[in-house]
Amino acid sequence: MDLDVLNMFVIAGGTLAIPILAFVASFLLWPSALIRIYYWYWRRALGMQVRYANYDDYQFCYSYRGRPGYRPSILMLHGFSAHKDMWLSIVKFLPKNLHLVCVDMPGHEGTTRSDLDDYSIIGQAKRIHQFVECIKLNRRPFHLVGTSMGGNVAGVYAAQYPEDICSLTLICPAGLPSTTDSKFIKQLRELQESERIDRIPLIPSTPEEMADMLKLCSYVRFKVPQQILQGLVDVRIPHNDFYRKLFLEIVDEKSRHSLHENMNKIKVPTQVIWGKQDQVLDVSGASVLASAIPDCHVYLLENCGHSVVVERPRKTANLILEFLALLYSMDNNKKQA
């Protein structure tokens, strides 16, 4: 073989080997870095841009796509210990001409974390209202979506700031009393009785605890490699002290049933989406909301747990779009009548 040709193959092989070895090294040694790169790439692929907004000395981090138009903007509030990127699986199935905004909740990811802040559900709703005013999202009424803790905040927001929103989607929201204890609630009671409340199932600190949390939150059994579990834990561990403080705040009497205490004030059309096999928050909460909110549309998803956004992203996106289309059609009919 010609020496120049051989050198070309060696150079080409070396060029290919470098990124492959870098990937393997990242996967084995720094799985948390790989997870961050993954979210960064997914945001770029979906056209989501990250921005910051300031209210006095408080900073909000958010991502967005599109611009306000004739259709309502959509603001999405994530759940406990998550971040704005959890919505990317839903964003993938939403039209690119919709104006979407996903914000990091108070104390999470890029949004300010302060020991002096009020992390009660009412306090978080006030912070989100500040964010909305910062980016002038309420120039026109918008559609508000919230899941789990974010659903609790979204419901309270709808009750406290009714002029800001035109409609509401609550996905497995917290903040409701239940006639049936979920698996998670039973686990919490057992931990309280054994005085091991520091071992909160939603705050894992080992790959094994992370695997248990995923089983608790999802009906679908995802096969997650050990290295990815380790990466997910590594990303969370620096924040676990904050998560414990936040958790105790939102299960306190002041916040535990905030959505229930405010649901009679919700006057906008409301959509409730819940996984039938939710082991974190019992699905019976859906009927509680349906009985209290006049214009309430309930959708229960078979073979789905608490992580609806992850387990059934396409179905969830379609349900939101169908709900908005129904409201738009009804509004047009009223104008023509």
Determine how many CB atoms are found less than 10 A away from the CB of residue 11.
Answer: 10
pLDDT for position 337: 57
Is the model's pLDDT at 325 over the cut of 80? yes
Q: Where are the domains of the chain?
A: 47-336
pLDDT for position 28: 43
| CA–CA gap between residue 263 and residue 176 (Å, rounded) | 10
- pLDDT tens by residue, 154-194: 999 999 999 999 999 999 999 999 878 899 999 888 877 77
Is the model's pLDDT at 263 over the cut of 90? yes
What SS3 state is found at 316? helix
pTM of the prediction? 0.90
> Which contiguous run of DSSP H or E holds residue 328?
helix 313-336
Minimum mean pLDDT range among 66-80, 90-104, 214-228, 308-322: 214-228
Tokens linked to 14: 């070396």
pLDDT for position 335: 64
Q: Which of 78, 99, 306, 307 is catalytic?
A: 306
Residues 6 or more apart from 210 whose CB is under 8 A from it? 204, 229, 232, 233
DSSP letters along 154-205, please?
HHHHHHH-TTTEEEEEEES-SS---SS--HHHHHHHHHHHTT-TT--TTS--
- Looking at residue 271, its amino acid is Q
- Phi/psi zone of residue 195: left (φ > 0), alpha (ψ -120 to 50 degrees), beta? left
**What CATH topology corresponds to 47-336?**
Rossmann fold (3.40.50)
pLDDT for position 106: 98
Measured in degrees and rounded to the nearest 5, phi and psi for residue 237 equal -50, -45
Place of tokens 């958790």: 247
Minimum mean pLDDT range among 2-6, 133-137, 278-282: 2-6
- Looking at residue 306, its amino acid is H
pLDDT for position 336: 61
- pLDDT tens by residue, 202-256: 999 999 999 999 999 999 887 888 888 998 999 999 999 999 999 999 999 889 9
Place of tokens 């009919």: 333
Q: Which of 89, 278, 282, 307 is catalytic?
A: 278
Q: What percent of the chain has pLDDT above 90?
A: 75
Could you tell me if 190 and 273 are in contact, meaning their C-beta atoms sit under 8 angstroms apart?
A: no
252 classed as catalytic: no
pLDDT for position 16: 43
Determine how many CB atoms are found less than 10 A away from the CB of residue 3.
Answer: 7
| CA–CA gap between residue 22 and residue 182 (Å, rounded) | 43
DSSP class of residue 304? -
Read off the pLDDT band of 41 (50, 70, 90).
very high
CA angle at residue 42 from 322 to 241, to 5 degrees?
95
Read off the pLDDT band of 333 (50, 70, 90).
low
120 classed as catalytic: no
Q: What is the average pLDDT score of the chain?
A: 89
* Nearest one of 232, 154, 159, 247 to 199, comparing CA atoms: 247
Read off the pLDDT band of 278 (50, 70, 90).
very high
Average pLDDT over residues 40-56: 96
pLDDT for position 291: 95
Place of tokens 């990127």: 85
Tokens linked to 151: 């659903």
Q: Which of 63, 73, 81, 148 is catalytic?
A: 148
Radius of gyration of the chain from its Cα atoms, rounded to whole angstroms: 22
Could you tell me if 78 and 86 are in contact, meaning their C-beta atoms sit under 8 angstroms apart?
A: yes
pLDDT for position 25: 38
Could you tell me if 276 and 304 are in contact, meaning their C-beta atoms sit under 8 angstroms apart?
A: yes
Q: Where are the alpha helices (DSSP H) in the chain?
A: 3-29, 31-46, 88-91, 121-134, 149-160, 183-193, 207-217, 226-236, 240-250, 258-262, 285-292, 308-311, 313-336
